[in-house]
């Protein structure tokens, strides 16, 4: 059985039976029935709880005249993501802001969780970045079809009709490659950051590890931004009428 964090042990101790029963009800059989909740799931629950608490605080302290720190941070985040959407997507970017903001905050907080002793980044587990990549893949294709209808398929066929079968194959492969690219980029960077930080803390517990903590912080922010930026680009290409 994989090593469990304290929170994971607590959740499995109290919730293993109902979670295992729920998974089996949908024909999913955990490898470890006595511990169906993994570290990644436990860390994701922490991220969701923090974000939910933050949103509740922002909602309860909304003020036009005297915005508090939480509201100011929320407004800065919204303006940042909106600015990226407006510059890349253009007209109609507003409808994508909620998804892009949510995915940016979730990835950022997930990445930063690895800096807390006793916790780890859920994005260092490949399943989490893969889930985010698949969600983004489905999201931009949905809006591409919604915006262009049947004409959305034309961008997969290319301008020359007799090359359409080849172009269709190339486009399908390239779109699935986006899922792989989003997954591996986020997972590999966060896994490497966690391993380096852990290794240097084990060897030299004072001084030098602080440098790697700073690097880990930078990588965490950059990777959240890159994922959100690529999702915005894919949305822009999907909803564009100029194919």
Q: Where are the domains of the chain?
A: 89-239
CA distance 167 to 182: 22
CA distance 182 to 134: 9
pTM of the model: 0.90
Contact 216, 171 (CB under 8 A): no
| DSSP letter string, 105-124 | HHHHHHHHGGGSTT---GGG
**Residue 8: how many other CB atoms lie within 10 Å:** 21
What confidence score (pLDDT) does residue 111 get? 93
Flag the least confident range among 40-44, 45-49, 184-188, 206-210.
Answer: 206-210
What pLDDT digit, counting tens, does each position of 1-38 carry? 778 888 999 999 889 999 989 988 988 888 888 889 99
Check whether 157 has a pLDDT greater than 90: no
What pLDDT digit, counting tens, does each position of 104-116 carry? 999 999 999 988 8
Mean pLDDT of 143-148: 87
* Mean per-residue pLDDT over the chain, rounded: 87
What confidence score (pLDDT) does residue 184 get? 95
CA distance 5 to 1: 12
Question: Could you give the dihedral angle defined by the CA atoms of residues 163, 169, 171 and 174, in that order, rounded to the nearest 10 degrees?
Answer: -140
């Amino acid at each position: 059985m994989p090593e469990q964090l304290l929170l994971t042990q607590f959740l499995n101790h109290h919730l293993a039976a109902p979670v295992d029963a729920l998974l089996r009800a949908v024909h999913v059989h955990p490898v470890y029935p006595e511990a169906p909740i993994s570290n990644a799931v436990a860390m994701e629950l922490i991220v969701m709880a923090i974000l939910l608490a933050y949103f509740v605080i922002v909602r309860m302290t909304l003020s036009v005249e005297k915005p508090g720190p939480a509201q100011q941070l929320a407004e800065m985040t919204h303006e940042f993501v909106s600015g990226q959407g407006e510059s890349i997507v253009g007209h109609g970017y507003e409808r994508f802001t909620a998804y892009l903001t949510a995915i940016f905050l979730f990835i950022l907080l997930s990445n930063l969780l690895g800096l807390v002793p006793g916790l780890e980044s859920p994005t260092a587990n490949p399943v989490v970045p893969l889930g985010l990549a698949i969600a983004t893949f489905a999201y931009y294709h949905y809006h591409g079809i919604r915006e262009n209808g049947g004409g959305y398929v034309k961008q997969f066929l290319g301008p020359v009709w007799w090359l359409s079968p080849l172009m269709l194959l190339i486009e399908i492969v390239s779109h699935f490659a986006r899922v792989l690219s989003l997954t591996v980029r986020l997972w590999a960077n966060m896994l490497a950051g966690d391993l380096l930080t852990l290794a240097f803390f084990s060897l030299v517990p004072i001084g030098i590890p602080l440098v790697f903590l700073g690097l880990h912080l930078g990588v965490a922010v950059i990777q959240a931004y890159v994922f959100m930026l690529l999702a915005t680009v894919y949305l822009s290409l999907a909803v564009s009428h100029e194919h």
